[in-house]
Chain A
Amino acid sequence: MQKRTLLKGAVAALALAASPAFAESHGGEKTKVGFVYVGPITDGGWTQGHHHSATEMLKELGEDNVEMVYQENVAEGPDSERVMTQMALDGADIIFTTSFGFMDPTINVAAKFPDVKFEHATGYKTAPNVSVYSARFYEGRAIQGTIAGQMTKSNVVGYIGSVPIPEVIRGINSAYIHAKKVNPDVQFKIVWIYDWLDPAKEADAAKVLIEQGADVILQHTDSTAPLAIAKEAGNVIGFGQASDMYEYAPSPRVSSIIDNWAPYYTARVKAVMDGTWETTNTWDGIGPGMVGIGEITDAVPADVKAQAEEMKAAIAAGTYHPFTGPLKKQDGSDWLAEGEVADDGTLAGMNFYVEGIEGDIPQ
C-alpha cells in the first residue's frame, strides 16, 4: 500500500516536472510545415485542392502552433529537389510533396534530412521519414459512371486522361464498369493529353470528344477548361475534378469528385507535434472523407440522383466495392469471379482496361 502511494507520488512528480518542459519545447517554436505544389494554387483543381486543405489544416491547428510555407509551380525533376532542400534548410519539420513526379526527389532529399518528415502524394516509395498518401478516387468514379451512363443520349462518354498511370486507369475502369451497368450501349472515347494541367490541351481534348459525339465529358485533368468547352457546346455535361468547380453548376457541372486532404494533413502535422509520426501508407476513400462527392445538381433526374447517393452510402459504409466480380479484362480473360473483390495490390498497379473499353493504354 505504502509502496503504491510512493510510486503514485513519484509518477505525479515526474509528470509535473515533465509537463512544463513539454509545454516549453512546443510553446517556444512553431511546427513548420512545407507544401510543394506542381501547379499554381489557383488552378481550380488539384493544386487548389491541396492548398485549400493546407489552409484548413492551419486553421484547425492554429497559426500560433503551425507555420506554413509553400511554393507553387514547381517543375518535377531537379527544381523540385532544390525546393524541398530549401524548405528543409529553412527549418521545415514536415514537407508535403503533392505530385507523382516528386517521388524520386522526395526520396533523395529525405535521405539527406533524416530529422525532417516527408509526405509524398500518389507515389509508392517510402522510407523511415517518408510516408505516402493517396485517395481512392475510383470510388468517386463509380458514382460518376452511374450518372454518366444514364445522362448520355448519344451513348458516347468522353474521357480526358492525363498520364497513363494506374490511378488514372483505375478511374477509367471504374467509371466504365458503372456506366455500362446502367446503360449497356454506352461507349467510352478516351483522349490522353500526357499532362495533369494544361488548359489549352484539355480544351482541345474536350472539343475533339464532343465532335466525336460525346455528350458527357469526364476528366482526370486539373483545370476547368473542359467544363468551359462543355458549357459553350450546350447539351454537354461534365464533372468537377479535384476541386468542386461549382462555378459551372448546375450545368454543365452536375457533380464532382472533391479531394479533401484536410483531415489527413491535420492528423499528420499533429503527429509531428506530438512526436508520434510514423511512416505510413494511406489510401483512403469516401468513408474516411478523403474523397468527397460534390452536390449532385438538379440537372440530374431525381431517380438517377437517388441511385448515385445510394451507391455513395454503400461505398462509404464498406458494403459495396466498385471492383466487384464478375469482371473480365479487355482481352477477355477472367479477372474477378462472381462476388470477388479486387485486392489493393492489383488496384495499385492496375495496367489493364476492363472488358468493353476500346483502344489501348498508351505505352
Chain B
Amino acid sequence: MAMMRYAEALNQALREEMQRDSNVFLFGEDIGRYGGVFKVTRGLMDEFGESRVRDTPISEQTLAAMAVTASMTGTRPVLEIMYADFMPLVLDALINQASIYEYLWQNVTMPFVLRTQGGGGAGAGAQHSKSLDSLVAHIPGIKVVAPVTPADAKGLLKSAIRDSQPVVFLEHKLLYNLRDEVPEDPDFTIPFGTAKTVREGSDVSIFATSRMVLESQKAAELLAAEGIFAEVIDLRSLRPLDIDAITASIARTHHAVVVNEGWRFCGYAAELSATIMDYAFDDLDAPVMRVTLPDMPIPYSEPLELAVLPNATRIADAARAALK
C-alpha cells in the first residue's frame, strides 16, 4: 500500500498498463506535454514517447471515432475527454459505432477506454460542471464506472484498460486531490459490477455514485447523531449495476435513497429508483427517495452553485423523509 492522490493513482494505473501491454496508448487534448489539465498523465509522454502519448487538436467527435477504429485494429486506446460536458460530441461514436459494431460484425472487439471528468463544485460554470452519467449509462454495450477513492480509481482503470469492450470512465474534478491508500500490486484490478458498502447501517440504504458517496457518508454522520443508522453503498459501476448488493441492502433496511449529481428527469437516479422497484418492491417500506441536481443549468456564482448541488444536508433530509 502507498498513500497517493486520486490523480496519482490514475497515473500509476496508466503507467502500469502501458508497461504491461505495448498496445495501450493514450491520446487527448493537452495530455502529453502539459500532462493533462488535472495532471493525470503527467510524465507519461517522457516515459513512453510521443507515439504512445499523443496530444491532439480540439475535436472530440474525431477523437472518439479514432478510439473506436484504433481499438478495432487491435490496439487499446485510452482517450481523455477533458470535460464530461463535451460528451454529447462523442455520443455518435458510442451510440452508432462502439455499441453496435460487435453486434453487426463477427470477430470485432473495441477495447478502448474513454476517460472524462465531470461534476460541479469548482465554480466552473454551466458548460464545465455537469454530470451526464445517464447519457452514457443509457447505451447498451458500453460499460460505465465512476470511482470515488484512489484505490478504486486505480483498480477500475486497470480493469477498464484490460476489458474487451468500450468503457466510459467517469472521474470527478473534486476528487483528484483526495489522498488514500492504494495497493501497489501491478495486477490489482477491481471487477465491474461490484458495489462497495462504505458504511453499514440498519435503517436506510443510501446508494450513491462518484463524489455523492462522500456527501452520503457525511449525511450518515448527521443521521447517526439522531440515532438513524444509514448504510452507504458506493455503486462504483453504473453499468453493469450490482443489483444483488442493492437488493441485499434493502432487504435489511427497507428504505432507499438514491443520489446522483446529474439532472433529475430521466437521470441516473431515476434508473436506480426504477431498478429498485423491479427487484426489491416487496421489501420497500417507503417510496424510493431521489437526491439529484434540479433540472436547471449549474450556476457559476459560488453561493448559487452550492444552492443547487446535492449535498449531505439534502441526502439526510431525504433519508428522514423516507423513514417518517
Does B bind A? Answer: no
